[in-house]
């Protein structure tokens, strides 16, 4: 988990910050290539009100939520009296039942833990008051799994560039490891993360299949054929077409 805690003098200040974290989390998930639904969830003895989850719609999801198709208001089924086909209480739109994956949540803790540990502050009037707390979390493993569930095809993963483990998957064919290594070094020196496949006991087809399975955004192939044209073959993982790029233009092509 990526955990965050906040400490406040009042519930008003807590919920001001709570809304800021909400917007920040939306941006985090968007940058990870995910559309999340802000979902009302059950509170508990450690919270002062309902909590909220960030849910990603997915057929394999283990959660069930009810979400308005018009305004996006959503409730977790564990707390909800809604059912599919109901009218949304916020806008009158149609409520739909969906499966989803929870990738983050935020909790208004209040003073439960600060009172238990004697965590106080001195207010402006000189009195001692319990600190009001909030808790916020992103499940890193769940987030990665959700990205893979959303971004894939029959051949494997299609990592969004913002979170790909490597930007480039470089493949050497026809024993052209020396030439491929030079390209690898140039890309590394220019800040591009590269996964280099220099295996000599695998066929081109096996290497291409592994590249699709791993899912780096860009595949580069260095072979006798490409080098005869002073080029390398480039293919984006989310596209079907390939093209040859001159070696002298490769860095600019990768940056774009």
pLDDT digits (tens, 9 = 90+) for 92-108: 999 999 999 999 999 99
State the alpha helices, DSSP H only, in the chain: 11-31, 112-117, 140-150, 177-189, 204-214, 224-227, 250-255
Q: Which two tokens stand for residue 26?
A: 């939306």
Contact between residue 104 and residue 54 where contact means Cβ atoms under 8 Å apart: yes
Residue 195: what pLDDT? Answer: 98
Q: Which residue has the tokens 């997915």?
A: 58
Mean pLDDT for the stretch of residues 187-202: 95
Residue 72: what pLDDT? Answer: 96
Contact between residue 203 and residue 221 where contact means Cβ atoms under 8 Å apart: no
Cα–Cα nearest to 164, from 135, 195, 188 = 195
* Longest CA pairwise span in the chain (Å): 81
Q: Which residue has the tokens 């996006």?
A: 72
Q: How confident is the model at residue 207 (pLDDT cuts 50, 70, 90)?
A: very high
Mean pLDDT for the stretch of residues 110-136: 96
Distance CA 212, CA 198 (A): 16
Instruction: Look at 1-5, 69-73, 203-207 and tell me which has the smallest mean pLDDT.
Output: 1-5
Tens-digit pLDDT profile for residues 115-125: 999 999 999 99
Residue 46: what pLDDT? Answer: 81
Strands 194-197 and 168-172: parallel
Distances (CA, A) of 159 to 24, 27, 119, 194: 22, 18, 44, 14
Distance CA 159, CA 154 (A): 14
- Other Cβ atoms less than 10 A from the Cβ of 77: the count is 17
**3-state class of 244 per DSSP?**
strand
Q: How confident is the model at residue 81 (pLDDT cuts 50, 70, 90)?
A: very high
Q: Is pLDDT at 64 greater than 80 in this prediction?
A: yes
Contact between residue 128 and residue 121 where contact means Cβ atoms under 8 Å apart: yes
**pTM greater than the 0.75 cutoff:** yes
Q: Is pLDDT at 256 greater than 80 in this prediction?
A: no
């Amino acid at each position: 988990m990526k955990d965050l805690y906040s400490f406040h003098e009042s519930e008003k200040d807590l919920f001001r910050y709570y809304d800021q974290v909400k917007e920040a989390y939306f941006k985090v998930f968007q940058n990870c290539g995910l559309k999340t639904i802000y979902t009302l969830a059950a509170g508990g003895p450690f919270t002062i009100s309902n909590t909220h989850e960030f849910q990603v719609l997915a057929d394999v999801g283990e959660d069930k939520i009810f979400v308005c198709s018009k305004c996006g208001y959503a409730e977790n089924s564990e707390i909800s009296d809604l059912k599919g086909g109901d009218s949304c209480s916020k806008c009158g739109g149609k409520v739909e039942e969906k499966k989803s994956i929870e990738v983050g949540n935020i909790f208004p803790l209040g003073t439960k833990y600060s009172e238990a540990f004697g965590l106080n502050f001195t207010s402006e009037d000189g009195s001692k008051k319990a600190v009001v707390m909030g808790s916020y979390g992103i499940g890193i493993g769940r987030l990665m799994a959700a990205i893979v569930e959303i971004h894939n095809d029959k051949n494997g993963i299609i990592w969004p560039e913002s979170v790909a483990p490597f930007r480039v998957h470089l493949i050497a064919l026809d024993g052209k490891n020396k030439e491929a290594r030079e390209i690898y070094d140039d890309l590394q020196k220019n800040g591009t993360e590269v996964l280099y496949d220099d295996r000599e006991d695998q066929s081109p087809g096996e290497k291409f299949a592994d590249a699709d399975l791993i899912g780096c955004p860009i595949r580069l192939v260095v072979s006798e054929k490409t080098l005869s044209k002073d080029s390398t073959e480039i293919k984006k993982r989310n596209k079907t077409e390939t093209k040859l790029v001159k070696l002298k233009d490769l860095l600019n092509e990768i940056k774009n």
